[in-house]
Amino acid sequence: MARNKGIQEFLDKKFDYYDVNSTFKPLLGLPEKNFRAIVWGDSGSGKTTLSMQMTAYLSTWGKVYYNSVEQGLSKSLQDVALRCNIDKCKPGSIMFDYCQTFEGMVEKIDKGKPRFVFIDSIQYMSLTVKQYIQLIETFPRRAFVLVSWCDKAGNPKYEAAQNIRYMVDIKIQTYQHNNRCMARSDSRFGQTSPYTILTKTQADVRNGLFG
């Protein structure tokens, strides 16, 4: 059990954080190294593209485990990865997976020891609040980014995702506006501002996809 700390001891304590660049600072702030985030939005609003952009950037800090349980290791995911310049990332810095069970995913995280974990999506994984708590307690030094569907009211879909939104540090909602995929963020780690994920001309429109 951790011991109590006095006022000055607590105020003098140093915390590890990522000094993110000017591109992602408006979205994330200056997050602690074990930050937790949720990304949610309507279909086609840029959730996976944003997650892949974050994957490419965060891979410069450490290994990323990306569990594409919803989209699978598919051509559509490959297209998004190439659009986000994943091919320019350091070899071995990103581990793509298609793991449908919570237990299997935990085993791979434990074995691969990534610094960052992406789960796309909460609904396809059927992730519960209890399992989320188990993840962050089992891997307290990892950062987690969870992707979620959106309901008609604009909230993460289903009770588990809505509850997890209150538990994470960074809450990111994606949306479309003026032929752009955008994101608005609420972060405990500093002031944020709207972030442009991509424009329609950048999107893969061959299959009617925007984001």
pLDDT (tens digit, 9 = 90+) per residue, 143-165?
Answer: 999 999 999 999 999 999 999 99
Whole-Å CA distances, 129 to 46, 87, 133: 25, 34, 6
Mean pLDDT, the chain, rounded, equals: 92
| pLDDT (0 to 100) of residue 6 | 85
Distance CA 111, CA 59 (A): 18
pLDDT of 197 above 80: yes
Looking at domain 34-202, what is its CATH homologous superfamily?
Answer: P-loop containing nucleotide triphosphate hydrolases (3.40.50.300)
- DSSP count for the chain of H helices, then E strands: 8, 8
| pLDDT (0 to 100) of residue 3 | 72
By mean pLDDT, which of 98-107, 145-154, 180-189, 197-206 is the weakest?
197-206
- Whole-model pTM: value is 0.91
Helix axis angle for 75-83 and 47-58, nearest 10°, is 60
| Sign of the Cα pseudo-torsion (28, 33, 36, 38, in order) | positive
Query: Is 169:31 a contact under the CB 8 Å cutoff?
Result: yes
Q: How confident is the model at residue 2 (pLDDT cuts 50, 70, 90)?
A: low
Q: Which residue has the higher pLDDT, 7 or 167?
A: 167
Taking the domains of the chain in order of start, what are their residue ranges? 34-202
